[in-house]
Amino acid sequence: MPLDQKTELNSLGFAKPPSETRVVVAMSGGVDSSVVAAMLAEEGYDVVGVTLQLYDHGAALAKKGACCAGVDIHDARRVAEEMGFPHYVLDYENIFKDAVIDEFADSYLAGATPVPCIRCNERVKFKDLLETAKDLEADCMATGHYIQRMMGENGPELHSAADANRDQSYFLFSTTPEQLSYLRFPLGHLPSKAATRELAAKYGLAVADKPDSQDICFVPDGNYAAVIEKLRPGAADPGDIVDVDGNVLGQHKGVIHYTIGQRRGLGIGGLADPLYVVKLDVEARQVIVGPKEMLATRTVPVREINWIGDGAFTDMAEREISVRVRSTRPPQEAILRPISATEATVELMTAEEGVSPGQACVFYETGGTRILGGGWIWKG
């Protein structure tokens, strides 16, 4: 066989035929991961589907008939049967509770606004599941995330998805270089979610029209407070709504029902100017409100930084980058100033409202698509 044929890379980047390339696909039961599995199976890869049982909605919400995790597992298994590859279900409930749910509850109770999807990727999917994939002797692990992995001068790089509306880079900033070398994201280049659904229809998948999940998986109805009250009894103790001078303006039914930047539902009408939640004092059981301008900030302290840019993080005194401080906001210009290998101060060129401890601050290459890492916003 000629040398160039021997070294030709397959679509996953390996110098061997797809049939000799084993790939574990993390299957949630949704259309995205199902399309990834079906696509790779059709290309002839040695596909192994794995679905994680992470939680029981019934237990989380203390409500019978609330478990829809079983439906997702069934949908993933059905895709595997249709496409003819093995499928396994792994019980990660204890790991998920310890690594994600408990911190979510404690962080929320501390007045932060946590993003558990990032912790799940970091501590469960890209850690325990990735190790399981290696135990299964897989060459790589593929997921249905909308993000792109590209080869750069210094190895694999993480880039935003081609479809900005579906881009999930905010939730994947903590991916390490070692993990990135093993992971694949086959949907990142697609122009739209419609293109994914077209592929699902092409492969004849029953999940082609399955709706997207809009909520955190273990908070299926978006009611954070109900889940936290179940996990941390007594968390909804009532207290005072006060202004920045400490004047009592009203009562609340628990700090957990409020978030930084909230205006509606405060129950303190009749004021000349609208007031917003500017701080949550859990120990004093106070919701502090103030004018909108108090929400604006330009200095963002960040810790637990994961750096996946070139060179060591502390090699630079400062660097012009773009940052995203909330998943729903576009990246904006900023200056990154490292303090240590895992801490930094980010100065926003334009003040941002509602910057909240517990949210992520994700670093992007200015004017480009590359993700340079990020960290956690840790104090107001």
User: Looking at residues 39-46, what average pLDDT do you find?
Assistant: 98
Indicate if 76 and 203 belong to the same structural domain: yes
CA 99 from chain center: how many Å?
14
Tokens of 4: 């160039």
Indicate if 77 and 205 belong to the same structural domain: yes
List the one residue out of 95, 100, 142, 92 whose CA is nearest residue 118.
100
pTM of the model: 0.89
User: Looking at residues 4-14, what average pLDDT do you find?
Assistant: 81
> Where does the pLDDT of residue 89 fall: very low under 50, low under 70, confident under 90, or very high at 90 and above?
very high
3 pLDDT exceeds 80? no
Query: How long is the chain?
Result: 380
Indicate if 200 and 81 belong to the same structural domain: yes
Q: Is 39 left (phi over 0), alpha (psi -120 to 50) or beta?
A: alpha
What is the distance in angstroms between the CA of the first residue and the CA of the last residue of the chain?
A: 63
> Where does the pLDDT of residue 2 fall: very low under 50, low under 70, confident under 90, or very high at 90 and above?
very low
At 311-368, the pLDDT tens digits run: 999 998 899 999 999 898 899 999 999 999 999 999 999 999 878 889 999 999 999 9
The enclosing domain of 248 has a CATH number of 2.30.30.280
pLDDT for 69: 58
At 166-224, the pLDDT tens digits run: 999 999 999 999 999 999 999 999 999 999 999 999 999 999 999 987 778 888 777 88
State what percent of residues in the chain have pLDDT above 70. 94
| 367 assigned to some structural domain | yes
pLDDT for 238: 92
300 pLDDT exceeds 80? yes
Indicate if 125 and 273 belong to the same structural domain: no
Distance CA 346, CA 335 (A): 6
CA 164 from chain center: how many Å?
15
Indicate if 265 and 347 belong to the same structural domain: no
pLDDT for 264: 87
Tokens of 295: 């929400």
Indicate if 331 and 271 belong to the same structural domain: no
Distance CA 374, CA 10 (A): 31
Indicate if 195 and 269 belong to the same structural domain: no
Bridge-based pairing of strands 46-53 and 22-26 is: parallel
Distance CA 229, CA 245 (A): 30
Q: Which residue has the tokens 């249905």?
A: 144
A 10 A CB-CB count for 54 gives 22
- Which is the catalytic residue, given 117, 140, 217, 361? 217
Q: Tell me, what DSSP letter sits at residue 123?
A: I
Instruction: Give catalytic status of residue 140 as yes or no.
Output: no
Q: Which of 290, 321, 352 is the last residue of a domain?
A: 290
Q: Tell me, what DSSP letter sits at residue 343?
A: -
User: What's the whole-number average pLDDT of the chain?
Assistant: 90
pLDDT for 217: 86
Q: Which residue has the tokens 């270089």?
A: 177
Distance CA 248, CA 288 (A): 9
Tokens of 254: 């628990």
Indicate if 303 and 361 belong to the same structural domain: yes
Distance CA 76, CA 51 (A): 7
Indicate if 260 and 124 belong to the same structural domain: no
| 194 assigned to some structural domain | yes
A 10 A CB-CB count for 314 gives 13
Distance CA 176, CA 155 (A): 12
The enclosing domain of 310 has a CATH number of 2.40.30.10
Q: How many domains does the chain have?
A: 3
Indicate if 81 and 116 belong to the same structural domain: yes
Question: At 193, phi and psi to the nearest 5?
Answer: -65, -30
| 169 assigned to some structural domain | no
- Which is the catalytic residue, given 117, 120, 140, 361? 120
Instruction: Give catalytic status of residue 67 as yes or no.
Output: no
Q: Tell me, what DSSP letter sits at residue 112?
A: -
| 55 assigned to some structural domain | yes
At 240-269, the pLDDT tens digits run: 999 999 999 999 988 888 888 888 888 887
Task: Quote the radius of gyration of the chain (alpha carbons, Å).
Answer: 23
Indicate if 246 and 372 belong to the same structural domain: no
Residue 345 lies in domain: 296-377
66 pLDDT exceeds 60? no
At 95-112, the pLDDT tens digits run: 999 999 999 998 888 878
Q: Tell me, what DSSP letter sits at residue 4?
A: H
pLDDT for 166: 94
pLDDT for 212: 87
Q: Which of 1-15, 21-35, 138-152, 221-235 has the lowest mean pLDDT?
A: 1-15
Q: Tell me, what DSSP letter sits at residue 127?
A: I
Which secondary-structure segment (H or E) carries 251? strand 248-252
| 22 assigned to some structural domain | yes
| 335 assigned to some structural domain | yes
| 77 assigned to some structural domain | yes
Indicate if 272 and 309 belong to the same structural domain: no
User: Looking at residues 308-312, what average pLDDT do you find?
Assistant: 95
Tokens of 106: 């404690």
Burial class (CB in 10 A: 0-12, 13-18, 19+), 131: exposed
